[in-house]
Amino acid sequence: MEMKATRRAYGEALIELAKCDPRVVVLDADLAHATFTTLFRDAFPERHYNMGIAEANMVDAAAGMSGTGLVPFCSTFAIFGTGRVYEQIRNCIAYPQLNVKLAMTHAGISVGEDGGSHQSVEDIALMRVIPNMTVICPADANETHDAVFAAAELNGPVYIRLARAETPVFEDELKKPFQLGRANVLREGKDAVIFSYGIMVNESLKAADMLAGNGVSAAVVNVHTIKPLDTACVLEYAAQCRNVFVAEEHSVIGGLGEAIAAALLEGGVHARFTRIGVQDRFGQSGKPAELLREYGLDAASIADKVLSKIV
């Protein structure tokens, strides 16, 4: 199976997008090699702006550029591109609803060796709380490509969360059409449903395989658009499966888990509900696989959690 990081797929998608949309420009903050906007820079050097290690100025300058009719994509690491510049995004991009795309890489603990200072496990919370903001986290390279195009088509701010680690490129029945705000059911099941996004989709699929060996039929739903949430799909699968798990490489506070919990309560669906995520702690150094294991986010941990909670 082909392996590719969503950040690389992002850099590649930008080139394709820029060929058909002359409004697209890309801004980076001295991390272009890591975010893979170098791929775009090499193809369109006159459309790539390095803003230096000055993220606040970068995102606000992007706001200004959008005011001249351009469609800026801003990239750096998620920790800096959301947390450090939260208020810039809120006041200068989202409040005036400007057409700026924030595509931030190195999200989550799978950043690995750089450690907790560089592992954003709060970015989804920070972005989804802002009015006018659309929040997407693609699960693989193809979905990243489609998310970039969908973001460009939408006239408004979009946050795209991307990963450093290489993950499988889904094939065959796992390859689904991408529609903004519409979750994709990757695996049907009747005993439990695992909602996830990003690199956790692959872990959830592997967990579902393990669970099948234990006689548990688990559905896996890829909620690539965290906001707006596909509430209809969430309620349908929660009602059908009764045991709801949300697996995310993010703090359990403020992430998809809480969004789904609210949807279930307000939708009147009674289900056994479990959040699988970073349990209100910071990340640390280690290999990505070791970290997923340590934080209970790898496939085996998800399967164990499902088995221990399912009724």
Q: Which residues are catalytic?
A: 55
Under the binding rule (CB under 8 A), the answer on residue 129 touching another protein is no
Under the binding rule (CB under 8 A), the answer on residue 96 touching another protein is yes
Name the segment binding another protein (CB under 8 A); options: 11-19, 89-97, 161-169, 263-271.
89-97
Under the binding rule (CB under 8 A), the answer on residue 95 touching another protein is yes
For residues 3 and 129, which CB has a smaller minimum distance to another protein in the complex? 129
Answer yes or no: are the C-beta atoms of 197 and 297 closer than 8 Å: no
For residues 72 and 112, which CB has a smaller minimum distance to another protein in the complex? 72
Under the binding rule (CB under 8 A), the answer on residue 32 touching another protein is no
Under the binding rule (CB under 8 A), the answer on residue 87 touching another protein is yes
Under the binding rule (CB under 8 A), the answer on residue 51 touching another protein is yes
Number of residues that bind another protein (CB under 8 A): 28
- Among 64, 129, 266, 287, the residue binding another protein under the rule CB under 8 A is 64
For residues 71 and 141, which CB has a smaller minimum distance to another protein in the complex? 71
For residues 74 and 221, which CB has a smaller minimum distance to another protein in the complex? 74
Minimum distance between the CB of residue 68 and another protein, rounded to whole angstroms? 3
- Among 26, 36, 39, 60, the residue binding another protein under the rule CB under 8 A is 60
Minimum distance between the CB of residue 62 and another protein, rounded to whole angstroms? 6
- Which residues of this chain interact with another protein, rule CB under 8 A? 25, 46-47, 49, 51-52, 54, 56-57, 60-70, 72, 87-88, 91-92, 95-97
